[in-house]
Chains A and B, each alone.
Chain A
Amino acid sequence: MALMITEECINCDVCEPECPNGALTQGDDIYIVDPALCTECVGHYASPQCIEVCPVDCIVQDPAHVESHDQLQTKFESLLGSAA
C-alpha cells in the first residue's frame, strides 16, 4: 500500500527529506505522496520514515493504492533499476 497524507498536514516539511524514494512533494495546500514512488520504505527501512517523523500523525495507508509487502518490494527493485 502506498501512503497518503490527510488534510491534518501542517506543512512542517519534516517528512520530505526523510523519504528515501523522493515520493513526497509540497502540493498546493499540503504535502502529497506520489503513489508510484512510495514503497512505504520497504527495501530501505523497517518502518515508513515519514510516519515516524510526522508530528501530527497525518500519514496513513492509502486505500486507493492497496499493495502487499511483496508488491512493494518489487516496486522498490524496479525503482532501483530505473534509478540506476
Chain B
Amino acid sequence: MNDLSEQKQMGEVTTLYHDLKTWELNPGDQTTHAKRMPGFFRTLKNYTQWGLWLPFFLLPYLRWNGQQAILFDIQNRQFRCYNITVLPQDIWMLSLVLLIAAMTLFAVTSVASRVWCGYFCFQTAWTDWFTWLEEKIEGNPTARRKLEQAPWSLGKLRKKIIKHALWLLIALLTGISYSIWFVDAYDYWRDLLHFDLPTVGWVVLVLFIAGTYILAGLMREQTCFWLCPYARLQGVMTDAQTILPAYDTKRGEPRSKLRRNGEVVAPQGDCIDCFQCVQVCPTGVDIREGQQFGCITCGLCIDACDAVMDKIDKPRGLIRYASLDELSGKPVKPLYKHPRTLVYLGIILLAIGGIVYGLTHLGSMTLKVLPERQPLFVQMSDGSIQNKYAFKVLNKTGQDLHVKVSAESDIAGLVLIDAERQPLTHQRRGTTFTVFLKAPGYNITQAVTPVKFRVEAVEDPTVFAEYSSKFNAPPRR
C-alpha cells in the first residue's frame, strides 16, 4: 500500500497515511494501532471501563446470608439477587428488563449517539485493555508497526509470546468470571482447580477464552465493523438533534499545514491536517469525513484535537460533541422537543413500573385451580353433586410447607372432602394435588356457582394464596 516511489507534493497526504487516503476504513488486512493520548474523554472512558470490569470480575464473590448474593442459578432454575428470588414463573419480568435495556440503548443513542459502543461495550473495554497491554510490551504504535514488519528474532518472539500469553490469561479470567455468574463462585473454582467441571462448564470456558482472545485481541475494531449488529443498528437511531463527535467543517476547512513565518497564501482553516484524530482512533476512521459506521463515538479524537489546538494557540472544539443542527447553523432544539427520546423514556418508565409491581407482588405462594371438565360434575347416590379440581401450588419460599385447603361459596352445606388432609409443597417448586368439593343437590340454585379457594401454610399462616373458580352442577329449570 505504501508506494514510496510516488511523487509527493506539498500538503499531500504523507506516506504514513497513504493507505488512509485510499481506504475509508481498514477492512481487516492490517492492524489498527491507535495512539494513546491523555484527555477528558480518555479519563471518562477509563472510569466507565473500570465500572464495567470491577462488577464483572468481583460481584460473584459477594455473599449474602451465606449464599452467593447475585446468581443466575440455571441448575436450580432461579435467579437470586440478595433477598429476592425470581422463579421461572415470574420470568415475564425478564422481558421487561430486556425492554428497559433496549429502550435505554435507544434513548441514550438518540440523545448522545453510540455512548454504549464508546464507553461501555465489552468489546471496546476488552480491546482497550488488550491494546494497553500491547503498548506496554511492544511500545507505541510506531514501534509496533516496525516490530510487525521486522524479521523474526528472539526479541520479537519473546514480546509476542508474552503478549499472547497475557491475552490468554485475561481471556481465561474472563471465561471464569462469566461462568461464576451462573454457578456458585467458590464451588466453580474448586471444581476448576480439581479439573472436575461438568462438560458444559468446560465448553463455556473454552468458548469464552477463544471468544475473548479472538474478538478483543485479533479482530478488535473489525468486530464492530462486520460482526456487531448493535453497531449498525445504533447508526440509524441518531438524527440531526443527536450530539456526536463531529468535525466542525466550517471552522476547519480548508485544512492546511501551519506556516509560522506568516506566508499565508490562501484562506486557511483551523485544521492543520496533523492526523492526530485519525491516529488515536481505536477503529481507525477519519472523523473529518463525517459521522460513519466505523465511529464508536468514544471521543478520543476530541482529546487529540484539543491537545493540538492548545499547542497551536487555537480554541478547542474543532472536533467536539455537536449535533448536525448545530454544525449546520440551525437552532439547537431542547431535549424536550425531541419526541423520539420522550417516547423511549415513556416506555422505560412503564417497564420500570411493571418490574416494581412484579417485585413487590412476587408473593410467597401462588395457586392455580383447574376444574375437571370431563365430567364437569358427578351426581352421587345420595343426591349430592361432586366437583373435582386440580390444584397447582407454587411455594416460592425457601422451606417445604404443608398447606391447609379451604373453599368458600354461597352454596349451603358445601364440604371439602378430606379437608383435614394437608398436602406438602416443596420449596421453590410447583406441587400438584387433587381436591374434591361436594354439596347437597337441593342447595344448589344455579348451574355455575362461583367458589373461592384458599391455601394457607400450616407452618406460617402469612403464606397463602387464593384463586376464584366455579362449582358446576346440572342445569336448573
Once A26-B142, A56-B258, A56-B274 are accepted as A-B contacts, the answer to whether A14 and B16 lie under 8 Å apart by CB is yes
Residue of B nearest to A25 (CB): B142
B257 touches A26 (CB 8 A): no
Q: List chain B residues, Cβ under 8 A from A14.
A: 14, 16-17, 274-275
Interface size class of A (residues with CB under 8 A): 10 to 19
Per a CB cutoff under 8 Å, which of A10, A16, A18, A52 touches B274?
A10
Shortest A66–chain B CB gap in Å is 20
B14 touches A53 (CB 8 A): yes
B258 touches A55 (CB 8 A): yes
Question: Which chain B residues in 8-41 approach chain A with CB under 8 Å?
Answer: 8, 10, 14-17, 35
Q: Is B311 an interface residue (CB 8 A)?
A: yes
Q: Is B260 an interface residue (CB 8 A)?
A: yes
Once A56-B258, A57-B258 are accepted as A-B contacts, the answer to whether A12 and B142 lie under 8 Å apart by CB is no
Question: Which chain A residues in 1-29 approach chain B with CB under 8 Å?
Answer: 8, 10, 12-14, 16-18, 26
Q: Is A54 an interface residue (CB 8 A)?
A: yes
Q: List chain B residues, Cβ under 8 A from A55.
A: 257-258, 272-275
Per a CB cutoff under 8 Å, which of A10, A16, A18, A52 touches B312?
A10
Once A16-B142, A17-B15 are accepted as A-B contacts, the answer to whether A54 and B257 lie under 8 Å apart by CB is yes
B272 touches A56 (CB 8 A): yes
Once A14-B16, A56-B274 are accepted as A-B contacts, the answer to whether A8 and B312 lie under 8 Å apart by CB is yes
Q: Is B99 an interface residue (CB 8 A)?
A: no
Shortest B83–chain A CB gap in Å is 54
Q: List chain B residues, Cβ under 8 A from A56.
A: 257-258, 260, 272, 274, 308, 311-312
Q: List chain B residues, Cβ under 8 A from A26.
A: 140, 142
B15 touches A18 (CB 8 A): yes
Once A10-B312, A18-B15 are accepted as A-B contacts, the answer to whether A52 and B10 lie under 8 Å apart by CB is yes
Q: A8 CA to B312 CA in the complex, in Å?
A: 7
B311 touches A13 (CB 8 A): no
Shortest A6–chain B CB gap in Å is 9
Residue of B nearest to A16 (CB): B142
Q: A17 CA to B272 CA in the complex, in Å?
A: 19
Q: A26 CA to B273 CA in the complex, in Å?
A: 20
Per a CB cutoff under 8 Å, which of A17, A52, A54, A57 touches B16?
A17
Q: List chain A residues, Cβ under 8 A from B140.
A: 26
Q: List chain B residues, Cβ under 8 A from A53.
A: 14, 257
Residue of B nearest to A60 (CB): B260
A18 touches B14 (CB 8 A): yes
A13 touches B16 (CB 8 A): yes
Shortest B187–chain A CB gap in Å is 51
Residue of A nearest to B307 (CB): A10
Q: A17 CA to B145 CA in the complex, in Å?
A: 11
Q: List chain B residues, Cβ under 8 A from A17.
A: 14-16, 142
* 13 chain-A/chain-B pairs, Cβ below 8 angstroms: A8-B312, A10-B274, A10-B311, A10-B312, A12-B275, A13-B16, A13-B141, A14-B17, A55-B274, A55-B275, A56-B260, A57-B260, A58-B260
Residues on A lying within 8 angstroms of B by beta carbon are 8, 10, 12-14, 16-18, 26, 52-58
Residues on B lying within 8 angstroms of A by beta carbon are 8, 10, 14-17, 35, 140-142, 257-261, 272-276, 279, 307-308, 311-312
For the complex with contacts A17-B16, A26-B140, A55-B274, 17 further pairs of A-B residues with Cβ separation under 8 Å are A8-B260, A10-B276, A10-B307, A10-B312, A12-B274, A16-B142, A17-B142, A52-B8, A52-B10, A53-B14, A55-B258, A55-B273, A56-B260, A56-B308, A57-B257, A57-B258, A57-B259
